[in-house]
Amino acid sequence: MNWEQLLSLKRFGDTHKRLRKEQDETRLGFEVDYDRIIFSSEFRSLQDKTQVVPMSKTDFVHTRLTHSLEVSVVGRSLGRKVGQRLLEKHPHLKDIHGYQINDFGAIVAAAALAHDIGNPPFGHSGEKAIGEFFKSGDGRYFEDQLTKKEYEDLCSFEGNANGFKILTESRQGRIGGLRLSYGTLGAFTKYPKESLPKKPTSHIADKKYGFFQTEKDIFKDIANELGLVKRGNDGDVSYCRHPLVYLVEAADDICYTIIDFEDGINLGLIQEEYALEYLINLVRDSIQTKTYNALLSTQDRLSYLRSLAINTLISEAVDVFMEHEDAILSGEFSKALMDYSAYEAQITDILTLSIANVYQSTEVIDKEIVGYKVINELLSIFTKAVVNNLNEEQSNFDKLILKSIKQYIDLETDNLYESLLSVCFYVSKMSDGNAMLTYQKLKGNHL
């Protein structure tokens, strides 16, 4: 792969090549991507979507919105630092093509901003709930009516693929979705493959999948424009990662490692004295003892240690990326950047404590149970109405349901897979609160 193609400014529908040296320096194409994401309704809904603690009303606990903004900030720093070193190593990118340090930061920032835009309500349990509905719930009935890949899309419903659908799906008045640059869409797609074969190798690009069957041709077009290297067996759609994916992934890894841990402390799920020592172990080489000891509140101490920890991990991730640039460009780099961290032991300690005290806390588990129930009920009612509409067997209740969702779901298609996926897509875009309210309405408990 080569950087000239990977930094493509092309957008859906373009008939002429967009050259970097002809861009308006006051509003670069990659910065336009960031703006389009942040003003989208799907991004705004993240303010009421779970990060770790579902439906938390505590003002200092992160939602998907605040998490995404923070990942974007870290991603911008990673991109700029890597961009600076890449332009020093490959001066023709600047001298001939006009690329600047900030271009790399802008691409990574935009892709990082959108990295959770496809997550359903109630966090990762929402993904699992959708998948379980088709794997072992009422949706299992459809297995014999779908192709293996279509059915796997539903059984392993994936927020990353859902996010790609949000960013690229055409609808009336919005052809090409948000019409982001192909460079940003490439950097967004952590798993550039379809749902089957499932985990064919231990390469990190094969861990999950990045697009549904409905967006397969769209991704192939993007991959060809970017010059992504083809992987996998003939007949399967699978590519090497866009190199900047590794920076988006590192930004997310850094933030959830440090900031989910911080949320656990603020919620009282992790003891402050015990927890702060874990963070100190991570930044012991850079901490200024006098400055730290002068901080009186837990919030100030956490803020200081968080800043040092994030800066430490950013610098390390940049070094790892540059050290392995050749392997990344050839598609041979098979792990996440943070897997090479010299602080792996400290990071593992922090994650282990977060899993035990935060992710598996009674509060989180209880609310995830509610999420499972809500999503299962919504899917059951909506899929029944949509399928009965396909078969022209609607009950009066089905007709009422269809009237309430017709502006969100394409009821004209005669394709079962597209109909079922459209229901999942509709439910996935609900916020936690909207999903709860819709559930209560359908149960007759709210007018």
Write down the domain spans for the chain: 1-120+157-360
For residue 164, the surrounding DSSP H or E stretch is helix 159-168
pLDDT value, residue 53: 64
pLDDT value, residue 62: 80
Classified by CATH at the fold level, domain 1-120+157-360 comes out as Hypothetical protein af1432 (1.10.3210)
Residues of the chain with pLDDT under 50: none
Would you say how long the chain is, in residues?
447
**What is the DSSP code string of 174-218?**
BTTTT---HHHHHHH-SS-B-S-SSS-SSSGGGSS----GGGHHH
**What is the DSSP code string of 252-272?**
HHHHHHHHHHHHHHHTTSS-H
pLDDT value, residue 213: 98
- pTM metric for this prediction: 0.95
pLDDT value, residue 160: 98
pLDDT value, residue 308: 94
pLDDT value, residue 36: 96
The whole-angstrom distance between residue 49's C-alpha and the CA centroid of its chain comes to 13
pLDDT value, residue 171: 81
Three-class SS state of 230: strand
Exposed / middle / buried, residue 173 (Cβ in 10 Å: 0-12, 13-18, 19+) = exposed
pLDDT value, residue 275: 83
Q: Are 381 and 361 in contact (CB under 8 A)?
A: no
